[in-house]
A and B are shown apart, each in its own frame.
Chain A
Amino acid sequence: DTEVTQTPKHLVMGMTNKKSLKCEQHMGHRAMYWYKQKAKKPPELMFVYSYEKLSINESVPSRFSPECPNSSLLNLHLHALQPEDSALYLCASSLRTGTGRTGELFFGEGSRLTVL
C-alpha cells in the first residue's frame, strides 16, 4: 500500500462550524505533514509531525489544530475559519525526517475546503 488517503475530498463549512480533515497512511512512515494550497500557488507547509510529535508549526493560526493519534493517522481540526482559509489541504508522509536524505514525500489527493 503506497497511498496516502485523505477524507473528505470536499468540505463546505460555515465560519462557526467545527470540522476535521483526516489523513491515513499504512506505509510505516514516521513523518506526516499538512500543506495548504491556494489556486495557482505552490503548496505551503503548515505542520510537520515526526514520530507522532509536532516538530514544525509554520506560524499557523490557532483555528487550525493538528493531531496525530498514532503513526498512521493525522487529523486537522478546523474551528472558526475564515473565507480566506478556503483552499486545497494536502497531507503527505515520508519515511522519516531528520538528518541526511530528505526522502520522498507521498501526497494524498487533498481535501478541498470551502468556508462560507
Chain B
Amino acid sequence: LAKTTQPISMDSYEGQEVNITCSHNNIATNDYITWYQQFPSQGPRFIIQGYKTKVTNEVASLFIPADRKSSTLSLPRVSLSDTAVYYCLVGDNAGGGADGLTFGKGTHLIIQP
C-alpha cells in the first residue's frame, strides 16, 4: 500500500489560497491520488482525483509533479466553511485489495477571519 504523509494541521485566513501537500514516495504505476474533505460528524466528501500533471474542478486544483511522489491540493480563496480535515488517498484498488481505500491521518485546516 502506498503510504501517505501530510501535515497534521495548517492555518490560513479567509480569501487566501491554501496548498496542502501529500507525500507518497512509494506510489505505484497504476495508483491514482484522491482527496477528501471531512467536517465533524459527517462522512468524507470527494474533492478531486488525479493521476499526473494538473487537474482542476469547480472547487480545487490538484498538482502532481512528474515523479508523482507528492501531490498538492490547492484551494483558491478559502472561506471559514473550508475549515475541515483533508485526506489524501493513494491507490488503485487493483485486485480488490484495500489499496486506495485507506485513510491516513489527514490535515486539519483551520481558516480564520
Q: Is the CB of A50 within 8 A of B96?
A: yes
Q: Name the distance in Å between A46's Cβ and chain B's nearest Cβ.
A: 10
Please report the C-alpha to C-alpha distance between residue A101 and residue B33 in the assembled complex, in whole angstroms: 10
Q: Is the CB of A42 within 8 A of B105?
A: yes
Per-residue A-contact encoding for B71-103, CB less than 8 Å = 1, 0 else: 000000000000000010101111111101111
Q: Size range of the interface on A?
A: 20 to 34
Q: Is the CB of B43 within 8 A of A48?
A: no
Q: Is the CB of A45 within 8 A of B98?
A: yes
Q: Is the CB of A102 within 8 A of B92?
A: yes
Please report the C-alpha to C-alpha distance between residue A60 and residue B49 in the assembled complex, in whole angstroms: 29
Please report the C-alpha to C-alpha distance between residue A46 and residue B38 in the assembled complex, in whole angstroms: 19
Query: A interface vs B, CB < 8 Å?
Result: 4, 33, 42-45, 48, 50, 55-56, 58, 88, 90, 92, 97-110, 112
Contact sample, A vs B, 13 pairs, CB 8 Å cutoff: A45-B101, A56-B96, A88-B41, A90-B43, A90-B44, A92-B43, A98-B96, A99-B95, A103-B93, A105-B101, A107-B45, A109-B43, A112-B41
